[in-house]
Structure 1
């Protein structure tokens, strides 16, 4: 199922003059359609092995064709993230997250490029050995993913702390490089986090647009055992995806996830080694000029932080 957001809409047809009542009714339709499409957008996941790799290389995946328009879901097929008509938890309440621990993981590090030997060192991710960390991607104008993720992480921390959460960042730009992907997972585990969110931006081809949330697959090998966190991580991801659509107006990815904004992966050490609910978020594609214009704007990054926080609140409050 595909969602067409405000940034993707075709030009509206010319309006006919039919009187005030017709105009008023017509004005209600986009809002109602958007609400239904947001509900539908979080109801399924794409297949494994799509989107990000921790050794970040630009993707050459072509945009997937939009599937046929779906029929409305029946109550029995409703997503766990659906509120069923109930109002969403108030994410602005000062005590909304009192007693909860949230770990925010800003992907990469602005100084990783100065420490190539260190970040290329291999670490055990349970199922394989992968590089400690990577430099990440950047916009065509040179705004780096590491700068982006650190900025959004700080904004998100402020919003969550205002709601009473105890918030820990895996790093705050103070480190020379890293931390390595196994340490990032360990920080969340040792904090006993109620939720962990790893922030990223993709480096796919031009024309590939939108965000996607990466969920852990069921992995049981070596040091990795994600089986206890698969279900709660999926719920966390679904709620964040729905909130991002609503708050930012951005659409789910048009190149992975089948229009749902959800992708399941089994090759990411940050997920494989986690023992607490955790998701990755690719907030957009830095190599697409339209997505890059959003990601480089402070106003959009603040909306992204707000949308992610509201998804976390919804998950933690049930």
Structure 2
């Protein structure tokens, strides 16, 4: 039996209060010193420092550098963990190859961009698109920190028109919860055909899309260039509709029908018990 004393609870409360007081840009470097000393002794051999350009934490390992917003519970993913997560979430049906052209729509801070870039190598290219300005700033920083010379970045929302749109500004800890809506921060928009035309792409070996419910308008605006796409992984978010009651997240059936009409064979992970996994669509031709 484990007995939790009032003294122990008080120490935990003091620790959390101290963390909250120090976990701000002017004093985060102090936490970084302690975190570095602790983490470098662990299995991952990570080195954590304060990143002044973003005000976030920077976790460096031999696999690369990744930003994170919080140190608690081990902080965010390392570069190696990002590679494992990308394999699990998006490369479940297709394995990237050197020389591939990858289009990452909803790139976030680069958790998939980093492993994609490493896999396709100097002969390949990764085009990463992110709508939220603060998240895009961190994406730029991740590219710089890891010297990802085969990565091209675009700050825009991918939609079915070129009209500016609004994206929520939740300042989420993981940078992943913002979505297109009627209010928020105004951001530029473009269509996939416009993007393909600007870059003069003649093929897209892998399309990854994870844009919080906006995948349907993005794909509806892309019908002219979908024949260029060989493989795709589309993160639908119907599970969020079930959790929140917001039906704007419910896109999986319509997205699947659109992909099938475009000539793709579409599969899912219907037997995976994780809430999000069954809503991801994997398309190949």
Common fold: TM-score over 0.5: no
Question: What is the TM-score of this pair, normalised by structure 2?
Answer: 0.26
